[in-house]
Every structure is written in structure tokens, then in C-alpha cells.
Chain A
């Protein structure tokens, strides 16, 4: 990773701030150093193809079939890069290729079950097949289709029809389309004209990039029409479409997916705790805590103000009776989730039990894990590697000492100190929440000491001593590293790879939009698509 992770400023400084106001509906994003000049903004992306994720596969096939289908869920689980599952290393190997055969069959059967997406009342079934191929394929491939491609699909139709009927032929065509590279890979290649150097994406590639960025699905009719008209070179038009799509319900799920992956909350469903130590823990509580965090993220990021500060320091959450009881609240919202106020000791996503329980052992808190999460994922500060010859053996819980006492070895020991002084003091500040995320004032009959320190963040005005997880969240929310990190995380999720030096221009524009709009994630996203880098690639 490069120094971009630290949010340091880069060579290009723009002293004259040109503000561009993009209006769409009732919303306006202010852009700071917007760069309209085509040659002003380099891109860190080479020409590439990105395989759709399982979610994108399902969203896209559902859009194409006009009904919800979930056969992509049976494909092999994605591995994660930088914590995210939608990176550009996703590929189709032997296993996925074989799973796609099954998914393709099921999709084709579903598409031809009533109401079928293709029927033929003509006596000339080939005309019907041609007509279906002509209309369906460009939608599936997200671009105009060549005659050679159509001919190949018609040949497939004939092979499928042999010994069968029209449906048999279309069935094979659909299997072909849903397993094809043209469907599975979103291209970022530009026109097929052999040009080298910096190239621009085609209009339909831009439409695809915008659509998957916001909705994790295939472009809708409006976006496709804009591409057909060649409008998407205009940065303001791109922002208009993003603003529009951000209101789509699929944007809610996609934004939630970003935040859940950013904070490493993907495995909540299989979280396990020791029942002897955490008698409150059971599958119903686990599921309620997951719903709390998901509902909260949706409420802040989709229906709410989408601001980093709200995400980190909201004095409310969403609870049902299970969560409210667990948190010790007086409110009883019932069996569905409703907004409830939080006491002063708990605030924002960092204090939610789902996160606190994830970053904990099955029988105790884990200050090291909690501290490392804040440092690397929320502040984007990198850790030096452990020194050689470490005996990495924290003592077990003995029922007598507090966690703080047990970990004293880490900070006390010379060789361990290099790393642990950067993370343990952060994590120890969370000690007012136990390993399941329940607020506590006593641990093993001793009063909890939740004093912590946020060290070496690059923002001396917003670091140093604090007491308790809520105070930490408030400190982090003011810290400039967090403000610089959040757009970077959104960038990584959006472009599906690690950042490099040539991404600085796009990141500048994201951060300027983010900061200029009170740290609104939607503005950061608008800043990204507004950037010229968004539509440019380097041919390697």
C-alpha cells in the first residue's frame, strides 16, 4: 500500500477552489477542486475486467428476468481483498465454471417458466429466436452486440432446438448468455481500436460502472439511454445518475454491504460465545444484534444524512425488545426494530454489540483486536510487523485479574511495545463493554478501568487520553485521519483494488466533496464519479 492510506496530501494542490453545484431533486453536492480538464486527472486503473460477485450476479439476473432469482448464492463464496468481496481478482475457475452450469440451467428454466420471457407464435421460429437474441442480449451484455455474437447465439439456439422445440432452443441460448464472459465480466476496456496510453471507457462501460457502483446491478433503462445518447462523458450527468440511483432500494443493500465489510462484520451470523461466561448469548440475541446494526446502517446511510459523524456518534440505534433488554434500555419497541435513544455511555457503530462482540474472544474482551480494528480500518493507519522471537502468549482469563492486568505484559514488555503501544491503549478504552458488548462497570469484582489513549494518529488535536468506548467514538469522529480514511475505504470498495499513487486525483476529489459536504458519503461517491479518473484507464 502507498502513503495514500495515511491521507497525506500529494503534489497537486489546488489553491483556487472552483465550486460546482450539482442539483438533482432537492439535493446538492458541493465540489471543491473539481477538474473539468480531460488531461488533468490521471487514473490508477489499468484496463481490466471485473467478474460479478454472487450478489451482483443475482441482482443482474433478477433485473433481466424481471423477477427475483437467487441462483448466484450457490456459487463459491468470494475471497476478500482489503476486507471487500467485490475486488478485481475474482475469476472463474473450475469450481465456479461448474457451479455456473447449474445456475445457468436453473436460470434458463426459471426464465421460461410462466410468464416466459420468450414465446413464439410465428410459424418461423428462427425469426422469433433472432428477435429474442436481438433484444435480450444487449441488456445482458450491457452493450451493443455484434452480428458475429448474434450468429453464435443463433447457432446455439439451433443446437438446443435439435430434438426439442423453441423453448429448448431459447433455453440453451439463455444458458449460454448467463455463463458467458460477456455477462460475467464488467469490462473497463474502452473502444476496441488498439489505442495505447490513457483511454476513455465506452459510454456503456461508464453506465455499467455507475450502475454496479451504486446498485450492484445492471444499468437500468435511463442509464442505458444516457449511454446510447453519449451523455456520460459529462461529469455532472454522471453525478445526476448516481444521485438518482442512490434512492433505489438496491443502493440501500449495496451501501449496507460496504459498511458491513468496512467494519469487518460479515461473519455475524456465525458468531459464537462461551455460554458460561456470557449467559445472555444465544442465537436469538445474535440475530437481533445483527439486525440492529443492519437497520442502523440503513437508517444512517440510506434514509438518513449519510454522514460519518452520525455513523460514529449517533445517540440512537434501532432495537427490538431483545436488543433493548440486552442494552438495559427502558424502551420496549416490541418485536420489530424501532429507533431508540441511547444512554451517554454508548454511541455510534463502534459501540454496537455486533461490532464489540466480533472484536472479542469467545470468553473475554480483546482490547488488541478492538484497538487494531480502530487503528487500521477506521483510521487507515498501518501497523509495523511484530518483532522477531515474540512469545505470543497472553495469559488466560483466571477469574481474578482484569483483562487490563492480564495484558499489562504486552505493554510492559520491551519487544512487544513497538506495536502494542499503538493499539492496546485504544482497545483498553473499550473495557466498559464486555466481550459480548454489554456495558459494565465491574469486572471480576473490581471496578472497570476504561481509560484509554488514542496515540499517533497524525492529528494531535484529536488524540490522546479518553475514558470509555463512547468517548473514543467521539474522539475518532473528530479525527482528521478518520475523515481521510472513510473516503479511502469507499474508494477501495468502489474500484475493487488497493489504491496507488495515480489514484490521488480521484481521491482528492472524493475527499474534497466529502469534506465540503459535512462528511457525507453520498457526496464522496459523487466526487468519485465526477472525477475524470472514473472514466479513464491506462492500457498496459
Chain B
């Protein structure tokens, strides 16, 4: 089998020659000869995917048993059992806290989606619950996403609260505004794999030139307006300009990569998307779309929050929030095993994505080897109703950036609240998840000693 490296190079070269021939003097060819592209053709890129699921864990069923390198996740009722076949491709992080939330007064779990990837406190000053700064996926996308069709891809696995909830967003722009998400995998597929113009090459060239003229006009118009603004208003339009530049770059990038479009999924209407019994099928489609986008190198950065109100397919036809997370009780309460069912099902979705990525050959390995998946949650033990010991997994090969196949107990001691006197107070012995974000940033070449809130500096030790 030809390696992906070679295949990519061939594809790109073929497409490049075609494009150059087609465009004549139409496009600035110098733009097509960027060093990133040559580099990208020589080695598979490292991708970042983050999946967020809610409701926390109970430690007796979530924690691996054993030691750092010899651990068991296949004991009875283990929440992480679905990952047993990928034990060498996971890193279990136990004892990570969203310190920035509780140290800055946020109780409960609604700050989780806001801080998960941003490391920011939840800012309510503007009348809504937003972070102060951008999320790690956006920092990574700014660094590595420029040569793909989409700098980053934001999906929404399922809209638990009809599209209007803090749980539906984990990706934030500079300044902390929410990035909208794509809810319909069939539509996302169409966006990623638009119909290919197989007809008249001259018509295709004119079409491309028209699109470029249009984008040039839009950039000019928005720039004129942007010049009159300052502060956050200027930033708002800078975001618009970046989007337009990305669309422009996307025209070029898309013409460089020709990838056989997979079979398109059937269209999904609003009623299908709101039908809870179809959730498992639709969520699988979301994972398929992610894998296909990665396989064709249409994006290298993906985020997806995934919450469902009930799981009738798993005999949990009750509210996961009201009837399970809020009823969790003490060790021995049978409801705790229902949370095992919930988190196992979520875990199975992540494993399905890993399966899909593992089926894509890249060089001597697979796309899974070249991917870092961050699977997170908003809550630790739901009984505490706070973000202590948030269950966190890194999955995939990460191109060896992190040493995988381990279970890290980040915080020795059993009581996560030890030494902590309440919301708004410091918990000096706790491990802030900001450190993980710094480590991830460094793995992708994003520099800086802090990510998000400046209180928590440095990498998370022991990952590399």
C-alpha cells in the first residue's frame, strides 16, 4: 500500500499542477508555494480533538485499579471499560480540578463547559456566563489550522437544551465569545465535501475567480468598517475578517487536496435531530464526519460537546441530570451504577471515534497515532456538585508528545476538599487543569507559561 505521505504528496502535486494549469495568471501562484504545505506533505500532522460530556463520575467505578503503568479498567462496573482495548493509547488523569472556577466563586457545574478548554473563570459581568479568553482549540487552530479547508470544526453532538445552553459550547473566540456549532452531521458533510465540478475546466476557473472577487470585496468592506472601531468592537470585526481570510485560503487549500468523498449520509431534518431515539445513530454520524474530515485533512482541530437528556436505548429513560446526577447519594446507592451506564455509553462514543481514526492508514501507522483526543467533563463527583477531580482522559497516539498507556494520580490523598474552605477560596494543594492546557499547547507548538487564567502557570508534570 502506498503510504499516506506519498499519497498525499501525489494528490497534492497532481492537484497543484492541475490548478496551476487551470488558473493561468488568475491566482497568485506564489501563495500556493507556502512552506507549510511542503512540510505537511512530508509528515502526517498532529490533530487535536476534544469531546465534552457531562454529569461527572463516581470515584469507585471511574478510577483505574492498580499502578501507573499496570492498571485495570475492566473490573466489574468500571466506567472506563470501553477503553480496555486501547489501554496503550490512553492517559487517565485523576485529580484534575477546575480550580479557577471554585477559587473564583463559581459553585455547581455550569461553569464547566466554559472553563474546560479556556482555563478561564466564568465571567458574569456582561450578563451571561462566558470566559474571558479563547479556548485551547482556537489557540491550536491559529497555529496549525491555516493550511486546511477549515481552520477548526465545531460540532454539537446533540442539543440537550434545544440549542440554548452553556452545555452546547466549549469553543470560544479571543475575548470569550461563543463559537457557534454545527448540529446537523448531514449538513456538515455537505459543507466538507461539496459537489465536485467535473465539467468545463474554464467554467470552474471562472467560478473560482468569482468567489475570490467576492471575498476580496467582503474583506475590503469589513476592513473599512473595522478601521472605525476600537477595543472589543474592533476585535469583533477582526474575527469576521479572519473568517473571510480563512474562506479565501480554504479555496486554495481545497483545490490542493483532492480526496475521494465518502458516501454522503441521508439528510436529517429538525424532527430527526430532535428525536432522542435517533441520538445514537446521529452521534455516530458526527463521529464519522470527524474521522472523514481528518482522513482528508480538511481540518486538524475539532471540538464537540455531547450531552443527551436521557438514554432510552440504555434503559435509562429518566433525566440524566435530575434523576441520576442529582440522586447520586453515597457509595452503595444503586443510582451510582446508572451513572456507570451513562459514562460507559459516552466512553463508547469516544472509542468509536478512535476505531474510525485507527482505520485510516497514515505512513506506517494510523490517524489515531497522529491525534490527541481530550475527553473531559464538567463535574467531579456529582454529590459534591463541584469541579473537583474532573474525570479527564487523553486518547490517541499524540505522535508521542505525551507518554500514553498510563494512569496518573495527580493528587495524593483521598479528600479532594482538604485544606479548602469554600467557594471563592484558594485550594493550594489542588492541581489546576490550566496546567494540562499549557502542556497541550506546548505539544502543538503554542508557546506561553499560562493558558487562560494567569494564576496557574506551568506544565502538568509527568506527561512527556
Are B237 and A49 neighbours in the complex by a CB distance under 8 Å? yes
Asked if residues A91 and B173 are in contact (CB atoms below 8 Å), the reply is yes
A162 CB within 8 Å of chain B: yes
CA distance A189 to B105 in the complex (A): 37
**CB <8 Å contact, A1 and B127:** yes
CA distance A152 to B217 in the complex (A): 7
Q: Say how far B249's CB is from chain A's closest CB, in angstroms.
A: 11
Are A91 and B240 CB-contacts (below 8 A) given A179-B218, A389-B422?
Answer: yes
Cα distance A389–B381 when bound, in Å? Answer: 12
Q: How far is B243's CA from A390's CA once the two chains are assembled, in angstroms?
A: 43
One digit per residue, 1 when the CB lies within 8 angstroms of any chain B CB and 0 when it does not, for chain A 379-390 equals 000000111111
Separation of A307 and B224 alpha carbons in the complex (Å): 44
**Partner of B181 from A76, A87, A179, A393 at Cβ < 8 Å:** A76
Instruction: Verify if B266 is at the interface (C-beta below 8 Å from A).
Output: no
* B281 interface residue (CB < 8 Å to A): no
Q: Cβ of B247 and Cβ of A176 under 8 Å apart?
A: no
A63 on interface, CB distance cutoff 8 Å: no
In the complex the two chains form, what is the Cα distance from A310 to B225 in whole Å? 44
- Given contacts A163-B206, A392-B108, are A187 and B164 in contact (CB under 8 A)? no
**Beta-carbon contact of A79 and B169 below 8 Å:** yes
Taking the complex as formed, is A160 at the interface, i.e. its CB lies under 8 A from any CB of chain B?
A: yes
Contact A388 B206 (CB under 8 A): no
| Contact string against A for B residues 219-258, beta-carbon threshold 8 Å, 1 for contact and 0 otherwise | 0111011101111010011011011101100000000000
CB of B128 within 8 Å of the partner chain: yes
Q: Interface with A: B55-63, B322-330, B362-370, which one?
A: B322-330
Which residues in B have their C-beta under 8 angstroms from that of A392? Answer: 108, 326, 385
Q: Provided the pairs A95-B179, A362-B319, A391-B383 are in contact, do residues A48 and B206 lie with their beta carbons within 8 angstroms?
A: no
Q: Is the CB of B178 within 8 A of A176?
A: no
A166 at the interface (CB under 8 A from B): no
Q: Assuming the A-B contacts A93-B173, A159-B213, are A390 and B180 also in contact, with contact meaning beta carbons closer than 8 angstroms in the complex?
A: no
| In the complex, residue of chain B having the shortest beta-carbon distance to the beta carbon of A5 | B127
Give the most central of A153, A182, A189, A392: most B CB within 10 Å.
A392
Chain B residues with CB under 8 A of A181: 218, 221-222, 224-226, 237, 240
Say yes or no for A175: interface residue by CB 8 A criterion: yes
**A363–B318 alpha-carbon span in the complex (Å):** 9
A98 in the interface (beta carbon within 8 A): yes
Is the CB of B152 closer than 8 A to any CB of chain A? yes
List residues of chain B with CB within 8 A of the CB of A492.
Answer: 127
**Chain B 85-128 near chain A by CB (<8 Å), digits 1 or 0:** 00000000000000000000111100000000000000011111
- Report chain B residues within 8 Å CB of A152: 217, 220-221
Q: Of all chain B residues, which has the CB nearest A271?
A: B162
Set of chain A residues within 8 Å of B230, measured between Cβ atoms: 540
Whether A447 is near chain B, meaning CB under 8 Å from some CB there, is no
For chain B, give the interface size range. 35 or more
- Decide if A386 touches B107 in the complex (CB within 8 Å): yes
Q: Of the candidates B125, B126, B210, B236, which one forms a contact with A160 in the assembled complex, judged by CB atoms under 8 Å apart?
A: B210
Nearest neighbor of B335 in chain A, beta-carbon distance: A396
Is B403 interfacial (CB 8 A cutoff)? no
Report the bound CA distance from A396 to B329 in whole Å: 11
CB nearest to B231 among chain A residues: A540
Whether A331 sits at the interface, judged by CB under 8 Å, is no
User: Considering the complex, which residues of chain A in the window 95-132 have a beta carbon less than 8 Å from any beta carbon of chain B?
Assistant: 95-98, 101
Report if A176-B214 is in contact (Cβ < 8 Å); known contacts: A93-B180, A270-B274: yes
By the criterion CB–CB under 8 Å, are A91 and B228 in contact? no
Produce 1/0 per residue, A510-525, CB < 8 A to B.
0000000000000000
Q: How far is the CA of A359 from the CA of B152 in the complex (A)?
A: 36
Per-residue contact bits, chain B 178-194, to A (CB 8 Å; 1 contact, 0 not):
11111000000001000
Q: Is A14 an interface residue (CB 8 A)?
A: no
Cβ of B180 and Cβ of A176 under 8 Å apart?
Answer: no
A145-180 interface mask toward B, CB cutoff 8 Å, 1 = contact, 0 = none? 000010011011001101110000000100110011
Whether A334 sits at the interface, judged by CB under 8 Å, is no
Nearest CB in chain A to that of B141: its residue:
A94
Instruction: Find out whether the CB atom of B126 lies under 8 angstroms from the CB atom of A89.
Output: yes
Q: Which residues of A contact B309 (CB under 8 A)?
A: 272
Residues of A within 8 A of B423 (CB): 385-388
Which residues of chain A from 303 to 358 have any CB-CB distance to chain B below 8 Å in the complex? none
Q: How far is the CA of A391 from the CA of B239 in the complex (A)?
A: 41
Residues of the B chain whose Cβ atoms lie less than 8 Å from the Cβ of A185: 225, 237
Q: Is A411 part of the binding interface, using a Cβ–Cβ cutoff of 8 Å?
A: no
Which of these, B218, B228, B417, contacts A192 with CB under 8 Å?
B228
Which of B106, B242, B243, B328 gathers most chain A CB within 10 Å? Answer: B243
Given that A77-B164, A362-B319, A497-B126 are contacting pairs, would A163 and B225 also be in contact in the complex, using a CB cutoff of 8 Å?
no
Tell me, yes or no, whether A47 is within 8 Å of chain B by CB: yes
- Please name the residue on chain B nearest to A268 by beta carbon: B162
A94 near B151: Cβ-Cβ < 8 Å: yes
Contact between B417 and A389 (Cβ–Cβ < 8 Å)? Answer: yes
Contacts of A266 in B (CB 8 A): 162, 164
Name the residue on A nearest B150 (C-beta). Answer: A94
- A98 engages B247 (CB within 8 Å): yes
Cβ–Cβ contact A80 & B128, under 8 A: yes
Residue of B nearest to A159 (CB): B213
| Cβ-defined contact, A155 with B217, below 8 A | yes
Chain B residues with CB below 8 A from A159, complex form: 209-210, 213-214
| B161 pairs with A267, CB closer than 8 A | yes
Find A361's partner among B151, B162, B231, B322 (CB 8 Å cutoff).
Answer: B322
Cβ A497 vs Cβ B127 within 8 A = yes
A320 to B164 Cα, complex, angstroms: 29
Judge if B163 is at the interface, Cβ distance under 8 Å: yes
A394 at the B interface (CB under 8 A): yes
B424 to chain A, nearest CB (A): 8
List, in ascending order, chain B residues with CB within 8 A of A55's CB: none
Chain B residues, CB < 8 A from A395: 327
Inter-chain CA distance A267–B162, complex, in Å, is 6
Report the minimum CB–CB distance from B260 to chain A (whole Å).
Answer: 22
Q: How far is the CA of A49 from the CA of B230 in the complex (A)?
A: 11
Q: Would you call A22 an interface residue if the criterion is a C-beta within 8 Å of the partner chain's C-beta atoms?
A: no
Interface presence of B154 (CB below 8 A): yes
Taking CB as reference atom, which chain B residue is nearest A96?
B180
CB distance from B193 to the nearest CB of A (A): 14
Contact status of A91 and B239, CB under 8 A, knowing A79-B164, A79-B178, A162-B209: yes
Fill in one digit per residue for B378-389: 1 if any A CB lies within 8 Å of its CB, else 0. Answer: 000001110000
Contact A180 B221 (CB under 8 A): yes
A18 on interface, CB distance cutoff 8 Å: no
The reply to whether the CB of B65 lies closer than 8 angstroms to some CB of chain A is: no
Complex: how many Å from CA A101 to CA B126?
Answer: 31
Q: In the complex, A395→B126 CA distance in Å?
A: 35
Counting CB contacts under 8 A, is A269 at the interface? yes
Q: Are A187 and B225 in contact (CB under 8 A)?
A: yes
A65 within 8 A of B: no
Which of B173, B221, B240 contacts A182, CB < 8 Å? Answer: B221
Query: Could you tell me the distance between the alpha carbons of A159 and B210 in the complex, rounded to whole angstroms?
Result: 6
Chain A contacts with B in 179-217, Cβ cutoff 8 A? 179-182, 185, 187, 189, 192
Q: Does A92 contact B (CB under 8 A)?
A: yes
Q: How far is the CA of A1 from the CA of B108 in the complex (A)?
A: 21
Are A498 and B274 in contact, with the CB atoms below 8 A?
Answer: no
Residues on the B chain within 8 Å of A387, using CB = 107, 422-423
A sample of 20 inter-chain contacts (CB < 8 A) reads A1-B125, A81-B128, A87-B127, A91-B239, A92-B239, A93-B240, A94-B243, A94-B247, A95-B182, A152-B220, A159-B214, A172-B210, A181-B224, A181-B225, A189-B229, A266-B162, A386-B107, A392-B108, A393-B326, A498-B125
Q: Considering the complex of A and B, which 10 residue pairs feature the smallest CB-CB distances, nearest first?
A: A388-B422, A76-B180, A498-B127, A159-B213, A97-B243, A181-B222, A82-B127, A267-B162, A92-B240, A81-B128
Q: Besides A89-B177, A91-B177, A385-B107, 7 other CB < 8 A contacts?
A: A82-B127, A91-B240, A181-B224, A189-B228, A270-B162, A361-B322, A396-B323
On A, residues with C-beta under 8 Å from B are 1, 46-49, 76-77, 79-82, 87, 89, 91-98, 101, 149, 152-153, 155-156, 159-160, 162-164, 172, 175-176, 179-182, 185, 187, 189, 192, 266-267, 269-270, 272, 361-363, 385-396, 492, 497-498, 540
